[in-house]
Amino acid sequence: MENTVSIRKLSKVFGKNPVLKSLDLDLEKGEFAVIFGPNGAGKTTLLKLISTLTTPTEGSVFVSGFNVVEEPEKARREIGLLSHESYLYGELSAKENLRFFGQMYGIKGQKLEERISSILEDTGLVAKTDERVSTFSRGMKQRLSIARTLLHRPSILLLDEPYTGLDPGASLVFENLIKSPEFQKSTKLMVSHDLERGFKLSSRLLILNKGKFVYDGIKKDFSGYEDFKEKCSSMLA
Ligand SMILES: Nc1ncnc2c1ncn2[C@@H]1O[C@H](COP(=O)(O)OP(=O)(O)OP(=O)(O)O)[C@@H](O)[C@H]1O
């Protein structure tokens, strides 16, 4: 099976702080993996490295075959990142924001307009299409962030604590979208502190602790969530 994320001997050092220590990871196409781990383990740093927001100290990351350091633009087109940061422009309308991001991802013309209409509908934002984002409620901004993440139909979804910032309505929109046929085939890597939700959604479970994977297994190895919690919670401290 094709690997859509391939990480080799990846290390990241901030100053004198070694945050990620020679990580290896392969994600197969369509896999839904969740990374758990204590505060400061390096989870967000790992997602930032995959999404080209920061660069490795050592090692390599390939996204759908593109080296994130050598071909960051091509790698970025493959990725949708949903995190606490909305990356939206307050002075632009919902549509203008999506146009901006769509163009950045190389989508143009009629195709872009169709994608924008469709994702605004999916996220329940049609009535807000031409309104400035600075006037949006927090929930509306969250919905638009989801739209921005999914607009270019990324093959890889990187989800950094996606539920932390989402209200129940936006959570539902998000879950329905990632379970939809369009995104079922995309590879998903989620970072979460919510063990139960992460366990339920994913097929593969990873635990990162002090910059190293201390567990890498599949959900089927456990009889259920309680079993997972019992066997793995000691690794999360
Ligand atoms: N830009 C940066 N400059 C310096 N240190 C950083 C930077 N970004 C992260 N760090 C440090 O790297 C370590 C790992 O941070 P990271 O945010 O990746 O952890 P995390 O596992 O996502 O934690 P949490 O669960 O608390 O979000 C921390 O010690 C943090 O202070």
Give the pair of three-digit tokens for residue 205. Answer: 């479970």
Q: Which atom of ligand 1 is nearest to the CA of 211?
A: 14
Q: Which atom of ligand 1 is nearest to the CA of 208?
A: 21
Ligand 1: centre distance to CA 41 (Å) = 7
| Residue 8 included in any domain | yes
Q: Which atom of ligand 1 is nearest to the CA of 42?
A: 18
Ligand 1 pocket, Cβ-based, cut-off 6 angstroms: 14, 17, 19, 37, 39-45
From atom 29 of ligand 1, which residue's Cα is the shortest distance away? Answer: 40
Ligand 1: centre distance to CA 52 (Å) = 16
| Residue 92 included in any domain | no
We report the CATH number of the domain holding residue 232 as: 3.40.50.300
Query: pLDDT value at position 3?
Result: 55
- Mean pLDDT value across residues 20-32: 95
Ligand 1: centre distance to CA 29 (Å) = 28
| Residue 106 included in any domain | no
Q: H or E element: which one contains 97?
A: helix 94-104
pLDDT in tens, 44-63: 999 999 999 999 999 999 99
| Residue 36 included in any domain | yes
Q: Do residues 34 and 203 make contact, with C-beta atoms less than 8 angstroms apart?
A: no
Q: State how many domains the chain has.
A: 1
Alpha-carbon radius of gyration of the chain = 18
Query: In this prediction, what percent of the chain has a pLDDT beyond 70?
Result: 99
pLDDT in tens, 72-94: 999 999 999 998 888 899 999 99
> Predicted confidence band at 189 (pLDDT cuts at 50, 70, 90)?
very high
| Residue 98 included in any domain | no
Give the pair of three-digit tokens for residue 16. Answer: 């004198």
Ligand 1: centre distance to CA 42 (Å) = 6
Q: Which atom of ligand 1 is nearest to the CA of 193?
A: 25
User: Which letter does DSSP use for residue 139 in this model?
Assistant: H
Ligand 1: centre distance to CA 39 (Å) = 8
Ligand 1: centre distance to CA 40 (Å) = 5
Query: pLDDT value at position 2?
Result: 55
From atom 8 of ligand 1, which residue's Cα is the shortest distance away? Answer: 45
Q: Which atom of ligand 1 is nearest to the CA of 45?
A: 18
**CA atoms in the 13 A half-sphere facing the CB of 193:** 10
> Predicted confidence band at 125 (pLDDT cuts at 50, 70, 90)?
very high
> Predicted confidence band at 127 (pLDDT cuts at 50, 70, 90)?
very high
Tell me how far the alpha carbon of residue 212 is from its chain's centroid: 20
pLDDT in tens, 199-215: 999 999 999 999 999 99
> Predicted confidence band at 1 (pLDDT cuts at 50, 70, 90)?
very low
Q: Do residues 132 and 91 make contact, with C-beta atoms less than 8 angstroms apart?
A: yes
Domain limits for position 28: 3-86+155-236
Q: What does pTM read for this prediction?
A: 0.93
How many CB atoms are located within 10 Å of the residue 120 CB? 21
| Residue 165 included in any domain | yes
| Residue 126 included in any domain | no
| Residue 214 included in any domain | yes
Give the pair of three-digit tokens for residue 152. Answer: 């270019």
